[in-house]
Structure 1
Amino acid sequence: MSNIRQSTNENSNLPVMIFLNKVKKISSNIQKNVEFLFVLKGELEVIINNQKYKLSESDVILINNGDVFEIYGEEENLILLMEIDNDFFNDVVKREQSLFLCNSSINDNEHYDDIRSILAKVMYEYSNREYGYDYKIMSLLYDLIYLLNVHFVIADDYKMQSLDIKNSKYTDRINKIVSYIKQNYYQQISLQDVADSQYLTPEYLSKFFKIHMGMTFSKYLNEFRLAQAVKELIRTDISVTKIAMNNGFPNLVAFNKIFKEVYDTTPAEYRSQVRKKQIKTNASEKVESEVTKVDYNQAVEKLTRYVEDEKDEKKIVDYKEINNINVEADIYTSKPIAHTWRNLINLGYAQDGLRSDLQQHLTDIQNKIKFKYARFQGIFSDEMLSYGDENINEVNYNFTKIDKLIDFLYSINLKPFIELGNKAKVLNLVSDKVMYFRNSSEKQKTLKEALDLLEKFMFHCINRYGINEVSQWYFEIWKEGDNDYVFWSGHFENYLNTFQNYYNMIKEIVPEAKIGGPGFNPEVNMKQFNEFLKQVKKTSTKLDFLSISIYPYELIEDSKAEKLSKRNNIGSKAYKNDEGEYLNHLLPSKDRNYSKLKLDKIRKMVKEAEVNIPEIHVTEYNSSISHRHPANDTTFKAAFIAKNILDNLDETDSFGYWFCSDVSGELKDSKNLLYGDMGLISANGINKPGFYAYEMLGKLGNDLVQKGDGYIITKKSLYNFEIITYNYKHFDYFYCLSEETPVTLEQYYNIYENQENLNFSILLKGVKKGRYRIKKYVLNREHGSIFDEWLNMNAIFNIKKDEIDYLKQICIPKQTVFYVESIEELRLESCLSPHEVNFYEITFEYS
């Protein structure tokens, strides 16, 4: 099954892949590795080499290398699937073409619980990714193979019964008898031969074997030979007669007779059936499958019961540890920083920017953080643009509403960063489901009409704001997806033609204005980016800046999969890539450094393409594309913002958070105090943790002393220092295996990689001797988290104004002030819980 799910395997150094899925169907396929299926919930029907098995909750089954299998599941099931690389497995097992009977649905074995525990622990280690997890997984794999070798190894068909030795004192004799059979089964051996080898009489051996093995000697020998023959039948082209001889059958007739008793068909017919399936599978190398996302909380609950530590009775989800980091920084080693992240904030959709509540929220943000540009889209939407008499030859436009928006921005010291085009307003519930969609305009314009509108708008702006001001504006021309809203096809002629016309029009009127695009999405359009750069170079298209939107996802492709949901007001769509294959879905990225790695790759591609693009702007970024995700309301978002801004500090010309206020995402479902939208401020005007993260970032100095994973040290002078520390926790591996499945509010903090605290010991060297005043801001679940305070109020639905006022007062970071004496060095300790962010303002006290 690896060709279904190989793209979800993150670490190629490990010889194992593991998945959590709801399985409806996996069509006929040949197992190329060794695979375990572990039923956590529901039932499965598994067909292996034409034999059917019914698996219920807690059942576990092993599919051997070379087996032909099919899987059918009920609608409600939860399956853990783990594949072990066959080469690695054989190297460890040191048995050629071994078969193992590990199928709890047909036999009992006290060691099945050990198998279940190991599978759950491997899944747990994958999900938490703690230091040294790969060694732990390898240790568990060796334990698993040991169990298989000792307790589950057979050379038999799946109908073979496991050994049930009732008296341990006969174990050695049974092992010697079975060993003799395995070493000599391909010869014409008899009961007498085996009895002689063990110095027993044939009569005693026959009775002994029946009592301790649960079957007659001849039945065991025939089924053992049959199992070996079936392997040759499936895996080789040797003639049926030769296979019968190779495996100890006296003649073809005897082989056919025993084979038909077990498989209800002849060996030749069986091989023919298997080969048809093999040909079909190998021809496409694609396995038709119906595999859907899992419920995260349900998965954790089901897995936890199998990995409880019997010694201290602690469950895996309660595991905590403290990570200590020592930092030494010389204050005389520094470099200037521009804080280019402060160049851009998104207000969202232009029509929302006219709302008084959103304007108040943006004013509050600007008072604390002081961004330079505000980006908005839909400037020429039907809500923003009034038309004159369309019956006359020349259409007159009324830009009054646009003026009001731009006037407001200037009143709070923000300049316009305008996204042009006919971009719709889209709100996503999850990555593959839109809950709101509305085109910006019902009036479809030709390119000539669009250019006419743009020309009139540019002249209007120059007359109103002056050429010097408009020369400082940015204009982004977003490329709409070809197959769907954001997915590119790889053909850019129309876009580049439109871009060039827009570019020429604006530059002719305002030569100094900045024009760029195309709103590149690394998670869905990376394949086409090189082609885009080639065509930009070929057509000599000039871009003043490259615009990028970063949402951390991984694209999972499957040619047989279609979109699971319909787009509201768009109809049923199926995403396709440049080869015309269907795109299955987007999964949350397992890479905690996603934005840094993607931006590094993009810069490298631009350089290698030898295309001159003076500026790179991240015009949108967030942790999820979902406008209804609890992460947007919690302290996770504060640590996420701190990490992404500091990881990419001054690496791009802007880093624009999407977006400023929950007001832009209000719909009829937005009745609760919080509803998981992306704003820095809630619709009721309460600052969310993301707001405070930006406020702390805004307090940093303009000289960088040192930064690393989890911290930054800046200075404003040799007497003033600023430090931010944060404890970022990425989504865990369980969660990243599913398509942002919903979780309850109470369980929300369980979807992260671990619950480790993080301790920083920071030593500033070279500081002036004396007394320092230190003001510390603490942002965590107890201080500054609207989400947690709302939970403390039982997440009430009908919240009142006085309660909102109360939350505004208490949902702030904790402030403490203390003093530290320094003799050429100053030491600080910062202990952070998961998702916590601390800010230190250090000032020399003159005396």
Structure 2
Amino acid sequence: MTGRLGDAWRYCIGAGRFDLALRRDYQDSLALLQREIGFRYVRQHGLFSDGMGVHRPYDHGGARHVLHAFTYVDQVIDAYLELGIRPFVELGFTPPGLASGDQTVFWWRGNVTPPSSRTEWAALVRATVTHLVDRYGIDEVRRWPIEVWNEPDLDVFWQHADQDAYHELYEATALAVKDVDAGLQVGGPALSPGADDGWLPRFAEFVTARDVPVDFVSRHGYTSGTAQHVPFGVHQTLAPAATLLTQFGAPRRQLAGTPLAGLPVHITEFNSSYRPDNPVHDTAFHAAYLAPVVAAGGDLVDSFSYWTFSDVFEENGIPVSLFHGGFGLLTHRQIRKPTFHLYAFLARMGDEVLARGEDHLVTRDGDGRVTVLAWAPVDHTGLAAPVTGHRVRLSVPVGPPGTGTAYVARSSVSEEAGNVWAAWRDMGSPRSPRPRQLDALREAAEPARRHHTVPVAAGLACLDLTLAAHEVTLVEVTAVHDETPPWWDEDRLLGAGGP
């Protein structure tokens, strides 16, 4: 099998609300993420919420006026562009001064009621987009997808989950965006995994009937069941990871035969649990559980955005402990979780796909280096002991046809290696680790690394990988060009056996 891996897996990454991006811990985490993985876009809630101060109504001369201020918006986006990442702009939630009601979501109280004035909402959108174009240039901002709202099919995110009201919001927003420039990208509806099968076709029918612009469609993917609450956390059942791939494929199935059928599809959030306080996010299990999804998701959609890159995130309030089940690939203070390494491994792979399987992905880069991502099977029910000793046997092409040797470098995370959550538990789960404990945790978060050589025959190297419990491993194979001088004798390393 051949083909291209593409970059759908790192097209976008999720983040905490917009004003959290002003914090040092957030920016340090994003800088590390970009150095080691390199995402293209970042998406987050809260652009129009109080913490960003964009919508500023005031009275003057006996009349109501609105000032649109972008002091914090500029700081955030400037920092993003300096780090080589662009905003995937989510327009929401309703500014308190424009809200029609007082229903809010999250600890930070994002208002989820429709705007009290469609005209004033459109003016807010138009002013925001115009400012972005003026500051960053039209060619740049045309590259930024602009998404309208978040999960309007859920009444927790959109009052009464009123689809007709959402259609009105989408129309006003999309037209305001296009008023600024017809080449800007606008889309939605950012549906939850539980959206009924008719939501997206009804959206397609609406925008088609009214000739409302839409440049992409979006939805989300999660596999967890009902929250089983404990103090400061939850436990949840999980569906098989393949359920995420089914969810990824849903928009194109639902839009088949509609005018929206050929549009790009973005999964603008996905994870196992939809809760930011589920310990499963911190585990080695989680990396192995998501590995087949991250390896194959690009076959189904144009992007799928892991939710989120950092535990700097406050939907349920301020975290009470370093490890608290947060969504992040990184904890506070930039400690790498096993799922971070899943992404970092994929970032080191080539883009030419040589083979795929239910437990592996094989690629090659332009220099001929072959990379294998392999993962152990998991039991999503938690009822069986983790699988140990899982074997993956492969023959991979190395260099030109012929004989010789290949250098094999292997990096792994598992229950025993790179499992920083287990190390933290062994420490006694310190809520605020001291500096030496943080150093120890960072060391524990490093993957296990080993190397050896294998023979090459007829241009092929045979790999026999045995995987530990919940292991995800990256194997890099390169042909050896031996430059050992002819006088070198390993047996004389300590001076014995001389003439």
> Does TM, scored on the shorter chain, surpass 0.5?
yes
Q: Is the alpha carbon distance of 1:488 and 1:653 closer, same or farther for their aligned partners in structure 2, counting shifts above 3 Å? A: farther
- The AA in structure 2 aligned to 1:341 is W
- Contact 1:730-1:752 at 8 Å conserved across structures: yes
Equivalents in 1 of 2:215, 2:254: separation in Å?
Answer: 17
- The AA in structure 1 aligned to 2:440 is Y
Q: Is the alpha carbon distance of 1:482 and 1:721 closer, same or farther for their aligned partners in structure 2, counting shifts above 3 Å? A: closer
Equivalents in 1 of 2:421, 2:150: separation in Å?
Answer: 36
- The AA in structure 2 aligned to 1:510 is D
Q: Is the alpha carbon distance of 1:486 and 1:445 closer, same or farther for their aligned partners in structure 2, counting shifts above 3 Å? A: closer
Distance apart, 1:648 and its partner CA: 1.4
Q: Does 1:352 align with 2:20?
A: yes
Larger Rg belongs to: 1
The within-5 A match list for 1:794-833 is 794-824=428-458, 825-833=460-468
Q: Does 1:841 align with 2:472?
A: no
Q: TM-score, normalised by structure 2?
A: 0.85
| CA-to-aligned-CA distance 1:82-111 (integer Å, 9 cap, x gap) | xxxxxxxxxxxxxxxxxxxxxxxxxxxxxx
Using the TM superposition, name which of 474-483 and 687-696 deviates more: 474-483
Q: Secondary structure at the match of 1:377?
A: coil
- Counterpart of 2:38 in structure 1 is 370
- Contact 1:487-1:525 at 8 Å conserved across structures: no
Q: Secondary structure at the match of 2:128?
A: helix
Equivalents in 2 of 1:489, 1:515: separation in Å?
Answer: 24
- Counterpart of 1:660 in structure 2 is 309
Distance apart, 1:774 and its partner CA: 1.2
- Work out which of the residue numbers 391, 415, 418 in structure 2 matches 1:759: 391
Distance apart, 1:799 and its partner CA: 2.3
Equivalents in 2 of 1:725, 1:684: separation in Å?
Answer: 29
| CA-to-aligned-CA distance 1:442-483 (integer Å, 9 cap, x gap) | 995521111111222222212211111111111100255467
Equivalents in 1 of 2:108, 2:299: separation in Å?
Answer: 34
Q: Secondary structure at the match of 2:334?
A: coil
- The AA in structure 1 aligned to 2:258 is A
| CA-to-aligned-CA distance 1:106-133 (integer Å, 9 cap, x gap) | xxxxxxxxxxxxxxxxxxxxxxxxxxxx
Equivalents in 1 of 2:8, 2:269: separation in Å?
Answer: 14
Q: TM-score, normalised by structure 1?
A: 0.51
Higher relative contact order (CA 8 A, sep 6+): 2
More helix by share: 1
- Counterpart of 1:411 in structure 2 is 82
Equivalents in 1 of 2:166, 2:440: separation in Å?
Answer: 51
| CA-to-aligned-CA distance 1:157-180 (integer Å, 9 cap, x gap) | xxxxxxxxxxxxxxxxxxxxxxxx
Q: Is the alpha carbon distance of 1:811 and 1:843 closer, same or farther for their aligned partners in structure 2, counting shifts above 3 Å? A: same
- Counterpart of 1:340 in structure 2 is 8
Q: Is the alpha carbon distance of 1:624 and 1:513 closer, same or farther for their aligned partners in structure 2, counting shifts above 3 Å? A: same
Equivalents in 2 of 1:785, 1:631: separation in Å?
Answer: 12
Q: Is the alpha carbon distance of 1:481 and 1:497 closer, same or farther for their aligned partners in structure 2, counting shifts above 3 Å? A: closer
- Contact 2:8-2:297 at 8 Å conserved across structures: no
Q: Does 1:446 align with 2:117?
A: yes
Distance apart, 1:625 and its partner CA: 1.1
Distance apart, 1:808 and its partner CA: 1.2
Equivalents in 2 of 1:797, 1:497: separation in Å?
Answer: 46
Equivalents in 2 of 1:422, 1:487: separation in Å?
Answer: 9
| CA-to-aligned-CA distance 1:720-747 (integer Å, 9 cap, x gap) | 1010001141421xxxxxxxxxxxxxxx
Equivalents in 2 of 1:527, 1:826: separation in Å?
Answer: 51
Equivalents in 2 of 1:650, 1:590: separation in Å?
Answer: 21
- Contact 1:471-1:511 at 8 Å conserved across structures: no
The within-5 A match list for 1:395-406 is 395-406=66-77
Q: Is the alpha carbon distance of 1:805 and 1:725 closer, same or farther for their aligned partners in structure 2, counting shifts above 3 Å? A: same
Equivalents in 1 of 2:131, 2:432: separation in Å?
Answer: 46
Equivalents in 2 of 1:537, 1:660: separation in Å?
Answer: 36
- Counterpart of 1:390 in structure 2 is 58
- Work out which of the residue numbers 494, 513, 516 in structure 1 matches 2:165: 494
Q: Is the alpha carbon distance of 1:482 and 1:387 closer, same or farther for their aligned partners in structure 2, counting shifts above 3 Å? A: closer
Equivalents in 1 of 2:280, 2:170: separation in Å?
Answer: 36
- Contact 2:106-2:316 at 8 Å conserved across structures: no
Q: Secondary structure at the match of 1:677?
A: coil
Equivalents in 1 of 2:59, 2:129: separation in Å?
Answer: 24
- Contact 2:423-2:441 at 8 Å conserved across structures: yes
- Counterpart of 1:238 in structure 2 is none
Equivalents in 1 of 2:440, 2:33: separation in Å?
Answer: 20
Distance apart, 1:803 and its partner CA: 1.0
- Counterpart of 2:266 in structure 1 is 617
- Counterpart of 1:123 in structure 2 is none
- The AA in structure 2 aligned to 1:834 is A
Equivalents in 1 of 2:406, 2:133: separation in Å?
Answer: 51
- Counterpart of 2:418 in structure 1 is 784
- The AA in structure 2 aligned to 1:550 is G
The within-5 A match list for 1:118-267 is none
- Contact 1:507-1:513 at 8 Å conserved across structures: yes
- Contact 1:546-1:613 at 8 Å conserved across structures: no
- Contact 1:488-1:528 at 8 Å conserved across structures: no
Q: Is the alpha carbon distance of 1:345 and 1:841 closer, same or farther for their aligned partners in structure 2, counting shifts above 3 Å? A: same
Equivalents in 2 of 1:839, 1:607: separation in Å?
Answer: 37
- Contact 1:642-1:693 at 8 Å conserved across structures: yes
| CA-to-aligned-CA distance 1:786-839 (integer Å, 9 cap, x gap) | 111112212234521221122112320011121112012211111112321000
- Counterpart of 2:205 in structure 1 is 534
- Contact 1:775-1:817 at 8 Å conserved across structures: yes
Q: Is the alpha carbon distance of 1:387 and 1:752 closer, same or farther for their aligned partners in structure 2, counting shifts above 3 Å? A: same
Distance apart, 1:755 and its partner CA: 2.1
Distance apart, 1:356 and its partner CA: 0.9
Equivalents in 1 of 2:67, 2:131: separation in Å?
Answer: 12
- Counterpart of 1:68 in structure 2 is none
Equivalents in 1 of 2:387, 2:151: separation in Å?
Answer: 42
- Contact 1:729-1:752 at 8 Å conserved across structures: no
- Contact 2:249-2:301 at 8 Å conserved across structures: no
Distance apart, 1:669 and its partner CA: 6.4
**Runs of at least 5 residues in structure 2 that lack an aligned partner in the other structure:** 96-104, 230-234, 483-499
| CA-to-aligned-CA distance 1:413-448 (integer Å, 9 cap, x gap) | 011111002179xxxxxxxxx973612599955211
Distance apart, 1:528 and its partner CA: 3.3
The within-5 A match list for 1:76-91 is none
Percent identical among aligned pairs is 24
Q: Secondary structure at the match of 2:16?
A: strand
| CA-to-aligned-CA distance 1:716-775 (integer Å, 9 cap, x gap) | 14731010001141421xxxxxxxxxxxxxxxxxx2554222211112257533221111
Q: Secondary structure at the match of 1:523?
A: coil
The within-5 A match list for 1:437-836 is 438-440=109-111, 445-478=116-149, 481=152, 484-486=155-157, 492-553=163-224, 588-665=237-314, 670-717=319-366, 719-732=368-381, 751=382, 753-757=384-388, 758-764=390-396, 768=400, 769=402, 770-824=404-458, 825-836=460-471
- Counterpart of 1:380 in structure 2 is 48
- How many residue pairs align between the two structures? 461
- Contact 1:470-1:513 at 8 Å conserved across structures: yes
- The AA in structure 2 aligned to 1:846 is H
| CA-to-aligned-CA distance 1:598-629 (integer Å, 9 cap, x gap) | 23343122113353452000100000012111
- Contact 1:643-1:728 at 8 Å conserved across structures: no
Equivalents in 2 of 1:685, 1:526: separation in Å?
Answer: 39
- Contact 1:516-1:543 at 8 Å conserved across structures: yes
- The AA in structure 1 aligned to 2:127 is K
Distance apart, 1:387 and its partner CA: 5.4
Equivalents in 2 of 1:669, 1:375: separation in Å?
Answer: 20
Distance apart, 1:845 and its partner CA: 1.7
Q: Is the alpha carbon distance of 1:536 and 1:386 closer, same or farther for their aligned partners in structure 2, counting shifts above 3 Å? A: closer
